Chains A and B, each alone.
Chain A
Amino acid sequence: MVVTERRVWQRAEALRRLGGDEELLRELCQIFLEESPKLLQKLRQAVVDGDPEAVLQAAHCLKGELSYLGAGSALQAARQLVVMGHKKDLSQAMETLATLERELANVHCAMKDSAGMLR
């Protein structure tokens, strides 16, 4: 699978934010690879339960991390879920969640690729 890094994950932007600290970026990616599946699981449970407050919480966390790490497309989906949580309207949540899961998988892929984990 070829990942177009620029859209999925703007690594350079994340690196700039960290003041060029490659090692820290690698560490953060590692944390993200371990932690984001847990957040996603929480989010899925919240959507299934129809709990807008819990959706807001989990989506908010993901949004912050994605925005910090410069993962644009996944960020957009997380943002939409935050808005849904705010408005307490989860009618479109399952669809958006599916998009988020897909985009997140791409981000994971791109991170692993950059770390040489796919080679």
Chain B
Amino acid sequence: MNAPTEFPVTSGCKAKPSRLDSVLIAEDDPIFHRVLQSQLQKWGYQVVAVKDGLDAWNALQQQNAPPMAILDWMMPGLDGIDLCRRIRSSKPGPYRYLLLLTAKDDKKDVVAGLEAGADDYLTKPFDMDELHARVRAGKRILELQDALIRAHEALQFESAHDWLTGLWNRGAIMDFLHREVRRSVRSHESLGVIMADVDHFKKINDSYGHLAGDAVLHEVAHRLVESVRSYDYVGRYGGEEFLIVVVDCAVSDLVAIAERVRLGIAERPIDTGVGQIRASLSVGLASAQAGSPDSLDPEELVRAADAALYSAKAKGRNRVESAPVVRAAGQGGV
């Protein structure tokens, strides 16, 4: 969860098609079935071929369904028009490019097909050149869509991550904290928060320059991720301040993790472009234990960890301090 390269859990588009060059063919006529299958394969497409509308519908519900479908107008089970309508009114997902195949060349029928949700149509008997051109046109649209989805995902990643360290940014880590607090209360699990601050960071910046300071933050982030468990969350809370959400963890384990976090920085210097720099962390931790009352305030956990952090600073830095276990308000508390 805290691997810097991973996408946020909130990323959408679950039924993403596996490849843009796969095509579904729904055609009951054996001649056209064979023609389409043979030609598309010859042009390098991966073909899923079915012989009626219901099979087509089912094939399109699969996880890696083709993003493009060539549908015959007249088919048993579910005809091309109904299939278009059904696909368009189904749950949102990646766009399906629908090419309707028809023997009808009446303008009214073409309009009906397009209104039902088809993107394009092809009138039988069609030439191979025309088929190829129309399939390519569809693929262009799908490629555009794919580029947009990728851009969207990249933006989603950026909006939740810190650009320098690759960690969750403050907004994202606080979202996770809120979510984990609710979950821990619901499932009566304990929850820990670790606040860590690089000691004398201003001095590092002043003595070695901002690039070296950035390198230190980057390496600290990397070591933090390595010091916690794979299912904990690590975020950059502020300039040189990091927040770690430790899920389902007893106080003694939490202290051990916090100590590991501290030691991870203190035990060996950090390589930067201007040489090795020694750094250390002051660490404050706070925990809410299993069985805490119903309402637990995430901000209170953060405040408690922050107070412990300042106490660690006051006691000489490069050390871990714990806040008293937080018990939330409610049920006659406070």
Contact = CB atoms under 8 A, between A and B. Distances in A.
Interface of A: 16-19, 21, 24, 27-28, 31-32, 35, 57, 60-61, 63-65, 67-69
Contacts of A17: 125-128
B127 A63 contact: no
B280 to A, nearest CB: 73
A63 B105 CA distance: 14
B38 interface: yes
Classify the interface of chain B: helix, strand, loop or mixed: helix
B124 interface: yes
A2 to B, nearest CB: 26
B103 interface: yes
B124 A64 contact: yes
By Cβ-Cβ distance, the 9 closest A-B pairs, closest first, are A68-B125, A19-B128, A64-B103, A65-B31, A35-B30, A67-B125, A31-B30, A64-B124, A17-B127
Contacts of A16: 127
- The interface centre, meaning the residue of B31, B35, B74, B126 with most chain A CB atoms within 10 A of its CB, is B31
Nearest to B124: A64
Contacts of B45: none
A82 to B, nearest CB: 9
Contact of A28 (B31, B124, B126): B31
A63 B103 CA distance: 9
A33 to B, nearest CB: 11
B32 A31 contact: no
Contacts of B30: 31, 35
Contacts of B55: none
Interface in B19-48: 29-32, 34-35, 38-39
